[in-house]
Structure 1
Amino acid sequence: MIELAHPWVFFLLPLPLLVWRFVAPYRQSVQALRFPSFARIVEALGITPEEGALLVARRRIQMIAGVLVWILLLLALARPERIGEAVEVTKAARDLMLVVDISESMDEEDFVTETGEPLQRLAAVKNVVGEFISEREGDRVALIVFGAKPFVQAPFTEDLQAVRDLLTLTTVGMAGPHTNLGDAIGLGIRSFEHSQVDQRLMILLSDGADTGSRMSPVNAAEIALQNGIQIYTIGVGDPDGGQADNQVDIAALQDIARRTGGQFFFADDTEGLAQIYDQIDQLAPRMVETISYRPRDSLAHLPAILAVLLTLASQFLMLFITRPRRAHA
């Protein structure tokens, strides 16, 4: 389908006719010969001399070419466009930040698979979170891992497979042995600084208590709330066993989620962890923005080229036609 972007241009179609009708013709003075006996000649011929002008008679081919060139130029200015089939583009309308604890305590093999076999905590998290990432079509996803220090493993991207691959490459202890929850949330907040969407969601998973963050988890949660970031927290591991630093701080995780309008969950096996991510998906369904448009290809150059070729062709033909006749006005 072809449409005109500026069809109003054709209101200029009668412009040359109006100019010809109401604008005075162009006049040019030329030199003439003076005859000493001019008065006797006109007297002998019985003619009364008057002021006059010499008009160049236009040929039909010139008139036709002029009309066609004017129409083609107006058509080029009207900008004809070829309209393609409708195209829909889905744009991410939510930014999702995954913050995963990889401290030394995540090396414990206290998770149980469906077959009853023991499984390392981090390995269980990788399996479940990896599937969760794969189903986030339409979201921009980022990944932060933390221990004694937090690190951005993957910035916000729609390349979900890349995020999942980077999660797979993480190992226990690569960010340090301790658990600094507040610093991890703070890095997540900074990562949201350039986010342009309204829905900002952070999912924080940890199996320990904060051991020395420069910013307390509670203060970090308050700043997250001010920046429109909702935090869902997940506790894994044993809240009663092991050293105090390695015991999951359920109260802190609950407080973080409550302050930001999120929810807290606890899981001690693979099945429970998978159910938690399913619940989060239902509580905070992903948002997408669908943009529909039709591609437009401009064809304005075609009538412009035809106008130029027609002008050149008419001038070329005039070279082989007898000289223009002249008529006295």
Structure 2
Amino acid sequence: MGSIEALITQFFSQLDWVNPWAFVLLPLPIAMRLMPAYRERRDAVRVPFFARLLDATESRPQRGAMLLIRRRGQKVLITLIWLSLVLAAAKPQWLGDPIEQQKAGRDLMIAVDLSGSMETEDFSQPNGEPTDRLTAVKAVLQQLVDERAGDRLGLIVFGNSAYLQSPFTEDHPTWLMLLNETRIRMAGPSTALGDAVGLAIKLFKDAETEHRVLLLLTDGNDTGSLVPPVDAARVAATERIRIYPIAVGDPTASGEEAIDLDTLARMAEVTGGQSFEALSSEDLASVFKLLDTLEPNIFDSVNFRPRTDVHWLPLAAVIMLYVLLRFLARLGALYRPGAPQ
């Protein structure tokens, strides 16, 4: 008995009802039986030999309606049909086994400087050949993406202004393709650092993830943003965004190509992040390895049970029961006493 009860319990635990209110219709036939019977007046034919007709048929005259008496089998079938209709109206769904799915747990926006100074060839490739700063950044970012399977990535490029190159996505190959399509000066020759942070804040507001990180790669100082970089960082802090600025290139440069390390450090401080300097490809790789310890991968687990509509089963039962009811009614009419053979 215990195993049978367990099976029954398991069966009903895997059923869910989209319209459970439909079960209030179950006692409707009982309520209908409590109502007075429907009576219909019909015209009658007077015959002068009515008394003889009663004697011949051995009947007794009476007033009222003639009630058709259903057999027990018909009552059972009609009850089952009504029960099946109510079950179909409740729209049962079969719940599958729980499935655990992991999704990105952090939104990581990467802002890349495309100003003219990024073409300076003071980085080196693995074979020792010199390369420009943007190419070195792209190479190291590709390694970063391979290790950030738990993050949704976005991409902002900035020069005279900041532009969205890729919204937040878990499609990392597409993100890398959009990164590789970037070119130096495609956003203008200057460095709108504060505007890049402002655009990131706007995009983070539409994101649902609580863990928000902005990775800022630049090789120059701000040259005319609408919002000063530190002020933009303060707004980012109110939105729970941590900023990690990475100064790429020679910190001893002067003029517009000079890197404002103090401003970058202040931006990191007010948001709870950390600033870095990278003078070579090796330094960039080391910075990203350190970032892995500061911002480890986060996965959010989502549990759900697949649902399959099974309301067609009681509907199929209604059709089969109705066909059986009609068959039994026809069969009873053929074998009723006095019926023509």
Q: TM-score, normalised by structure 2?
A: 0.80
Q: CA deviation at 1:278?
A: 1.8
CA contact (8 A) 1:57 1:325 kept: no
1:297-312 alignment to 2 at 5 Å?
297-312=308-323
Structure 2: which 5+ runs fail to align? 1-9
Per the alignment, residue 132 of structure 1 pairs with 144
Equivalent residue, structure 2, for 1:279: 290
Q: CA RMSD in A?
A: 3.3
Cα distance, 1:176–1:51 mapped onto 2, change above 3 Å: closer
Superposition deviation, residue 308 in structure 1:
3.1
Q: How big is each residue's C-alpha offset from its partner over 1:245-289, in whole Å with a ceiling of 9 and x where there is no partner?
A: 112111111011112111101111212211211222221234332
In structure 2, the CA distance between the partners of 1:68 and 1:212, relative to structure 1 (3 Å rule), is closer
- The size of the alignment, in residue pairs, is 321
CA contact (8 A) 1:4 1:79 kept: no
Amino acid aligned to 1:295: P
Evaluate the alpha carbon distance shift between residue 188 and residue 71 of structure 1 in structure 2; reply closer, same or farther with a 3 A threshold. closer
Matched letter for residue 157 of structure 1: T
**2:66 corresponds to which residue?**
54
User: CA, structure 1 residues 166+38, in 2 after alignment: closer, same or farther (shift >3 Å)?
Assistant: closer
8 Å contact 2:16–2:94 — kept in the other structure? Answer: no
* 1:92 matches 2:104: yes
Deviation digits for residues 217-245 of structure 1 (CA, Å, limit 9, x no counterpart): 1222122223332211111211113x321
The one-letter amino acid of 1:248's match is I
1:163–1:50 Cα change, 3 Å = closer
Which of 224, 246, 263 is equivalent to 2:274? 263
8 A contact 2:94–2:310 mirrored in 1 = yes
Q: Structure 2: how far apart are the matches of 1:187 and 1:198?
A: 18
Instruction: Provide the residue aligned with 2:192 in structure 1.
Output: 180
* C-alpha displacement of 1:190: 2.4
Structure 2 residue corresponding to 1:247, chosen from 246, 254, 258: 258
CA distance in 1, matches of 2:53, 2:171: 98
**Which residue number corresponds to residue 146 of structure 1?**
158
**CA offsets, 1:89-127, max 9 Å, x none?**
333332211011122211222224455443322111111
- Which residue identity does 1:270 align to in structure 2? S
With 81-90 and 91-100 compared, the bigger mean Cα shift is at 81-90
For 1:150 and 1:53, the matched residues in 2 are separated by: 87
Q: Distance in 2 between matches of 1:14 and 1:212?
A: 76
C-alpha distance in structure 2 between counterparts of 1:168 and 1:220, whole Å: 28
CA contact (8 A) 1:103 1:175 kept: yes
Q: Following TM superposition, by how much is the alpha carbon of 1:290 offset from its aligned partner in structure 2, in angstroms?
A: 1.5
Distance 1:247 1:104 in 2: 13
Describe the superposition over 1:60-111 as per-residue Cα deviations: whole angstroms up to 9, x where unpaired.
5533421331332243245443332322233333221101112221122222
Structure 1 residues 26 and 322: CA distance shift in structure 2, 3 A: farther
Mean Cα deviation higher: 112-121 or 273-282: 112-121
Letter in 1 for 2:212: R
Deviation, structure 1 residue 295: 0.7
Relative distance call for 1:49 and 1:244 in structure 2 (3 A) is: closer
Deviates most, 1-10 or 153-162:
1-10
CA distance in 2: counterparts of 1:131 and 1:10, whole angstroms: 59
Q: Give the match for residue 5 of structure 2.
A: none
Q: Which residues of structure 1 form unaligned runs of 5+?
A: none
Q: Distance in 2 between matches of 1:238 and 1:24?
A: 98
Q: State how 1:21-32 maps to structure 2 within 5 Å.
A: 22-32=34-44
1:169 — aligned with what?
Answer: 181
Indicate the SS of the match to 1:88.
strand
| Worse-superposed segment, 247-256 or 116-125 | 116-125
Tell me the amino acid that sits aligned with residue 261 of structure 1. G
Distance 1:162 1:131, change over 3 A: same
The aligned amino acid for 2:218 is S
What secondary structure, in the 3-state scheme, does the structure 1 residue paired with 2:143 have? helix
1:245 partner amino acid: E
Helix, strand or coil for the counterpart of 1:5?
A: strand
- Identity fraction in percent: 42
Q: Does 2:218 align with 1:206?
A: yes
Structure 1 residues 109 and 65: alpha-carbon distance in aligned structure 2, compared to 1, 3 A threshold: same
